[in-house]
């Protein structure tokens, strides 16, 4: 009898269904809904949408703001900085069209979310953050989430990453009041830069800059945006 009871207990244990933790289920559902909103607003690049579905945005916001992680609005991450609105992340990424093996420079790591999206798409990512504590936290977070191959350093992003240039794509996630010439010089022929340009504290214009030859840049305005100012080393690095 004891053997029979043990057998029944074993069968019951095997047949118990695995259950996903409730919090993970909720975050997953919200993430998928977020991507639907982004797609409905016109972001159609399937690789971009796939990366947004895969990267857990709630891991890149402060714990007290996780309930808002999948809302389509920016969130504060400390030090006067924000994690960008999901739609803007999707839109700028789709404009860049990063693909496996492309070398991409990000200026303004922040919490690391944009860098994770780029890495999820197979790009070789180099990311610069001028605020030391943000750079350190982002590096630890990205490693914990499996994005340890991202090259990340603290420094003045205005100057780019010359020793890793040229880049197939450059994305700037804070607004200078003009195009940084060091970044333009590090853009490969046929490479694309997406950058907000405008005065600090106000609205800026988002630009797509494509290097069509060694001496020619093609500029396209993508409309009005609002980003935090690009901080320079003399201002608080």
166-205 pLDDT, tens digit each: 999 999 999 999 999 999 999 999 999 999 999 887 789 9
- At residue 217, φ and ψ (nearest 5 deg) are -120, 130
The whole-angstrom separation of Cα 137 and Cα 119 is: 17
pLDDT tens track for 113-122: 999 999 999 9
Largest CA distance in the chain: 87
What are the structural domain ranges in the chain?
21-236
Residue 2 has pLDDT above 60, yes or no: no
DSSP labels, 71-115 = SSS-EEEETTEEEPPHHHHHHHHHHH---TT-EEEEE--TTSHHH
Indicate which residues carry an active-site annotation: 84
ω into 166 cis (within 30 of 0) = yes
pLDDT of residue 235: 53
Phi and psi based region of residue 11 (left: phi greater than 0; alpha: psi -120 to 50; beta: remaining): alpha
Question: What is the distance between the terminal CA atoms of the chain, rounded to a whole angstrom?
Answer: 73
Tokens at 16, concatenated: 């118990």
User: Residue 233: what pLDDT?
Assistant: 81
Which CATH number, 3.40.50.360, 3.30.2000.10, 3.30.160.150, 3.40.50.150, labels domain 21-236?
A: 3.40.50.150
């Amino acid at each position: 009898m004891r053997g029979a009871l043990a057998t029944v207990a074993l069968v019951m244990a095997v047949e118990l269904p695995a259950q996903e933790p409730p919090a993970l289920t909720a975050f997953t559902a919200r993430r998928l809904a977020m991507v639907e909103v982004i797609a409905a607003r016109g972001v159609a690049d399937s690789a971009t949408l796939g990366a947004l579905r895969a990267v857990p945005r709630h891991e890149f916001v402060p714990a007290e703001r996780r309930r808002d992680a999948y809302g389509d609005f920016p969130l504060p991450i400390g030090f006067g900085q924000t994690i960008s609105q999901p739609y803007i992340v999707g839109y700028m990424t789709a404009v860049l069209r990063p693909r496996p093996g492309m070398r991409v420079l990000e200026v303004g790591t922040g919490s690391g979310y944009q860098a994770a999206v780029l890495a999820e798409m197979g790009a070789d990512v180099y990311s610069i953050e001028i605020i030391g504590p943000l750079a350190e936290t982002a590096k630890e977070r990205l490693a914990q989430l499996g994005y340890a191959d991202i090259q990340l350093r603290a420094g003045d992003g205005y100057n780019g990453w010359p020793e890793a240039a040229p880049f197939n794509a450059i994305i700037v996630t804070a607004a200078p009041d003009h195009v940084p010439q060091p970044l333009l010089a590090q853009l490969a022929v046929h490479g694309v830069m997406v950058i907000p340009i405008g005065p600090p504290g106000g609205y800026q214009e988002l630009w797509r800059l494509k290097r069509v030859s060694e001496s020619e840049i093609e500029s396209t305005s993508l409309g009005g945006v609002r980003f935090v100012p690009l901080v320079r080393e003399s201002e608080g690095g």
